[in-house]
Amino acid sequence: MGLKIIVAGKGGVGKTTVASLLSFFLSSRGKRVLALDTDSVPNLALSLGLPREMESKIVPIVKDESLVEERTGARPGESWGLLFRLNPKVDDIVDKYGIRISENLSLLVVGSIDSAKQGCLCPAISLGKALISHILMEERDVIVVDSEAGAEVFGRGLAERFDHMLCVTEPTQKSLEIAKRIARMGRELGIGEVTYIVNKFSGDESERLRISETLDARHFFIPYDYSLIRAEIEGRSLKELDESSPAVQALRSAFESIFG
């Protein structure tokens, strides 16, 4: 079986940045990478370099009502208590809807599988979870999932199929505490390895030591880097960032230590 990685954390900490740079890192080393965007506001496509005019036309799998109806037998939101297939056909979706970014890197925009955020779109959630379950069981080199905030949306049976969680956090006390809760949830759900990515760090050595003492797993500090933040704001591919970017260098070093 290949390597299955979930990138988790609260909103706004830089999950998509980490997921996109990790996807570039692993694909550049000859691994065939499938990146899944399961955020309710998916924007991994832009970070991976898809032009905005193409990105704006992507319909996440769980929001494609025609596809959901075709595969589950029910149109989302039609009525309460409608019957639909719990095991819809999903084995062709990656080939039909996946987007080739480069020779070794593909993207599939799934959308959120959190039923609490999808209202009554139960058939859509059924399709999304069946799709992710199928993908995680396939023989693939690497799967990188840019997740919805938190890890509990995957639940036992999905989360336990991941080999590794990268839990992204900012260096604030509140963000660190949330990250530790997410990491604990991930472990309870069966994720074997957890690594913290402390993003946007600009403190001194004493601050670094204080944070290190609060975390309960391996962790890496990624310096605050305006060029990286500017690229994300402008919707530019993170692959375009100069190799001199401190954040890119630190993330590459972290990835090498974890997965190299």
- Examine the pLDDT at 4 and tell me if it is beyond 80: yes
| 189 in a structural domain | yes
- The pLDDT of residue 39 is 87
pLDDT in tens, 159-178: 888 999 999 999 999 999 99
Position 97 pLDDT exceeds 90? yes
* pTM of the predicted structure, to 2 decimals: 0.90
pLDDT at 80 over 50: no
In a domain, 77, yes or no: no
124, 67 contact by CB (below 8 A): no
Q: Whole domain around residue 153: which residue ranges?
A: 3-50+99-112+139-259
Residue 153 located in a structural domain:
yes
Q: Tell me, letter by letter, the H, E, C secondary structure of 21-56.
A: HHHHHHHHCCCCEEEEECCCCCCHHHHCCCCHHHHC
Q: What is the CATH number of the domain that holds 168?
A: 3.40.50.300
Q: What are phi and psi of 198, to 5 degrees?
A: -90, 100
Q: Is residue 221 included in any domain, yes or no?
A: yes
Q: What is the DSSP letter of 147?
A: P
Assess contact for 132 and 36: CB atoms under 8 A.
yes
* Count of domains for the chain: 1
77, pLDDT greater than 70 = no
Return the C-alpha torsion angle 205, 207, 211, 212, nearest 10: 20
Length of the chain equals 260
Nearest to 131 by CA among 99, 160, 162, 88: 88
Residue 63 in any domain: the answer is no
Mean predicted confidence (pLDDT) in 90-116: 90
Confidence check: pLDDT of 119 > 60: no
Strands 105-109 and 99-102: antiparallel
Residue 120 domain flag:
no
More confident residue, 238 or 257: 257
